[in-house]
A and B are shown apart, each in its own frame.
Chain A
Amino acid sequence: MSNHNSQQATTTTAIKLVAVVVGMFGFGFALVPLYDLICDVTGLNGKTGEQYTQASEQVVDEARVVKIQFLANNNAGMSWEFRPVVRTMEVRPGELNETNFFVSNPSKNAITAQAVPSVTPFRAAQYLHKTECFCFERQELQAGESMDMPLRFIIDASLPIEVTTLTLSYTIFDITDQLAAN
């Protein structure tokens, strides 16, 4: 084994390994969009999709009633009052429904908030279509201000028959500082 050859082989192997290192560092970051994609496609993690645009009018399943429960939670340190105006609704799959969530800002500062939804059971998440949701954009309230935030949704008519109750939960986050930091 001549020195020249073994040195060259060493360098070649080392370069290949460095390429693997760089690739795996990138893969770590690629896991982020990959994770979101998998959650979107499968509805895992209770994530509901983006704004729904109806391709065609759904046939309302008059024979079936699905109960939907609304939950509102504040993330740690969030001072707003946040609650659903009605706690449960009984809806028919395929029909367009509307409800409101009430928020008020009791603090002395303007606060920007972001609501994050989650649906249980998880496998029902992809059958809950939202045509309008306050969670699609940030909400801002001045000190002492309050409002009703609208939510319009359709339960897909192809919702599996064994699902009779859905829970749609929102957690509201104070993102004022985060926005300021950006």
Chain B
Amino acid sequence: MSAVIEQHHDDHHHGPAKGLMRWVFTTNHKDIGTLYLWFSFAMFLLGGSFALVIRAELFQPGLQIVQPEFFNQMTTMHGLIMVFGAVMPAFVGLANWLVPMMIGAPDMALPRMNNYSFWILPFAFTMLASTLFMEGGAPNFGWTFYAPLSTEFGPPSTTFFIFAVHLMGISSIMGSINVVVTILNLRAPGMTLMKMPLFVWTWLITAYLLIAVMPVLAGVVTMMLMDIHFGTAFFNAGGGGDPVLFQHVFWFFGHPEVYIMILPAFGVVSAIIPTFARKRLFGYASMVYATASIAFLSFIVWAHHMFTVGMPLAGELYFMYATMLIAVPTGVKVFNWVATMWQGSMTFETPMLFAIAFVVLFTIGGLSGLMLAIAPADFQYHDTYFVVAHFHYVLVPGSVFSIMAAVYYWIPKWTGNMYDEKLGKVHFWLSFVGINVLFFPQHFIGLAGMPRRVPDYALQFADYNMISTAGAFLFGFSQLLFMFIVVKCVFGGKKATAQVWEGAHGLEWTIPSPAPYHTFTTPPKVDMSEAHG
């Protein structure tokens, strides 16, 4: 709202305020996007360092580096920080930077709330990370915090964990409301819904998912809080509650949550592939409908995470088939990306390399998901490293690669400078090799029966674990190169043109690079032929 009002005060037009307070008080969508992205990168390194502790311990069988108690804290904190601190804020950062520029809006619709929703996060994660230094240690029950394990046997710091989750939830909900309100109300004249770039569409749907399920997460942690401190028994069978209830409520949130982390990635890839294939996106409308179908299906498949709790046969069958149904819209998407590349005049700049790797590796992760969906087979795979390999394939070379692709693709627009293409390619290949060496062997040890969340393992798993750890360190340290490339690009490099990429289409490429502090203060006229790039 204030952005709209600002039009009347010319003195606000000249650019950002100076000094640190610019970042604290900013209501500018570009500043907030930048804050989100840097915050997310910091969390990515923190969560990544926890992952390296895990992999270092698993380098050899036996206990070498950490004790099981601390190992469990590492797996828990790694999961929580990566999901809520790295992946989700990175996508919110991208949404902040890109959604207003893509739809021709001057800013987000609720700029002050935008500021709040970012600045809650550092407090939430400071609280979460501080549990590592508390008596009894950090939460140690896995990122899924199953009750009554977490409520009755968790450390005292569980309460701080609960408050941290509340804060993250509030932040996500405010961010999502902002995205929906912006997209529905601030589109430039002529920018109809079916002309929006796919990144905007995927974010609109993601925001609805967030608004629907983050309150359920808040509800379930509130129930935990009441079980711990106020003598209720939601999840305690002795008091009339039910532990399986926890899993139902948690996964009712949890399954849409995993699509929250992948749908914006679909949008990013759908922007990048057409640019470097120099063709329009194949099947735009089917992409929109596929995204919406995936979002709908995400609400009715949650119990495939809990096939082994003792569901009746009918339940197992229903959740099995419903889950497999998701492969249909996802397959439509993969088909469309491949068809977009078909007979295109392709070039392979860094964003395109990450986008193609996304399509290939995400599909591998999707297929192992289909294997897990087979209820009778799941009894073998459940809680093994096969599951770990599956969700890391969809989250790391899936979500994380798409975020990196997005950064390389739009950073010339953000900074006005081209990044170092040669270093970008080196970063890509190191990451690509590292990630496959890291996660591919985990499929094999999982099928052979190695359970997840264990600090020690049987000798027959030693070789693959050693390979996996080597890949983890390669991937982990390659990300320092990523940081170097980004910093180098911020401070200099070849000047970028407004269009940046020869094949790029869309409103964000019509404004100069770097994007001025205020853009589209008067809405642009959207050319009918300009639709969705």
Interface on A for B, CB 8 Å cutoff? 1, 3, 6-7, 9-10, 13-14, 17-18, 20-25, 27-29, 31-32, 35-36, 39, 42, 44-46, 75, 114, 116, 122-123, 171, 173-175, 178, 181-182
Contact = CB atoms under 8 A, between A and B. Distances in A.
Interface string B401-415: 000000000000000
Given A24-B216, A116-B238, A123-B312, 6 more contacts: A10-B181, A14-B177, A21-B173, A44-B311, A45-B244, A178-B239
B211 A175 contact: no
Given A3-B4, A13-B184, A17-B177, A178 B238 contact: yes
A171 B237 contact: yes
Contacts of A181: 231
14 contacts: A3-B7, A10-B110, A13-B180, A14-B109, A14-B110, A14-B177, A17-B180, A25-B215, A28-B216, A35-B242, A42-B312, A114-B239, A116-B238, A173-B239
From DSSP, what is the main secondary structure of chain B's interface residues?
A: helix
Interface stretch (B94-102, B133-141, B245-253, B257-265): B245-253
B150 interface: no
B516 interface: no
Contacts of A24: 211-216
Interface in B478-525: 523
Contacts of A32: 223, 234, 245, 249
A13 B185 contact: yes
B218 interface: yes
Given A10-B109, A46-B310, A31 B249 contact: yes
B528 interface: no
Given A3-B4, A25-B219, A178-B238, A35 B110 contact: no
A36 B248 CA distance: 12
Nearest to B4: A3
B111 to A, nearest CB: 11
B377 interface: no
From DSSP, what is the main secondary structure of chain A's interface residues?
A: helix
Nearest to A5: B185
B233 interface: yes
B180 A122 contact: no
A174 B238 CA distance: 7
A48 B523 CA distance: 64
A83 B99 CA distance: 65
Contact of B237 (A10, A21, A29, A116): A116
A116 to B, nearest CB: 5
10 smallest beta-carbon distances between A and B, as pairs: A28-B219, A173-B238, A25-B215, A24-B215, A28-B216, A181-B231, A182-B231, A17-B177, A116-B237, A13-B181
A31 B181 contact: no
A21 B208 CA distance: 10
A175 B253 CA distance: 30
Contact of B252 (A31, A44, A45): A31
B458 interface: no
B220 interface: yes
Contacts of B216: 24-25, 27-28, 31
B245 A75 contact: no
A35 B236 contact: no
Contact of A75 (B5, B189, B212, B238): B238
Nearest to A47: B242
A49 B459 CA distance: 48
Interface residues of B, number: 46
Contacts of B523: 1
B186 interface: yes
B1 interface: yes
A6 B212 contact: no
B237 A173 contact: yes
Contacts of A6: 4, 185-186
Contacts of A18: 177
A175 B238 contact: yes
Interface string B184-198: 111001000000000
A3 B248 CA distance: 45
A45 B248 CA distance: 12
A145 B200 CA distance: 69
A182 B230 CA distance: 8
A178 B233 contact: yes
Contacts of A173: 236-239
A47 to B, nearest CB: 8
Nearest to B227: A178
Contacts of A17: 176-177, 180-181, 211
B156 to A, nearest CB: 16
B4 A7 contact: yes
Given A10-B110, A122-B312, A28 B215 contact: yes
Given A1-B189, A17-B180, A178 B231 contact: yes
A40 to B, nearest CB: 12
B375 to A, nearest CB: 16
Given A31-B249, A35-B245, A174-B238, A10 B218 contact: no
Contacts of A20: 211-212
A8 to B, nearest CB: 9
Interface string B151-190: 0000000000000000000000100110011001110010
Contact of A10 (B1, B217, B220, B244): B1
Contacts of B180: 13, 17
A36 B249 CA distance: 13
A3 B213 CA distance: 32
B211 A21 contact: yes
A24 B434 CA distance: 41
A159 B213 CA distance: 40
Contacts of A46: 310
Contacts of A174: 238
B238 A28 contact: no
A44 B213 CA distance: 25
Given A10-B110, A13-B180, A122-B310, A175 B239 contact: yes
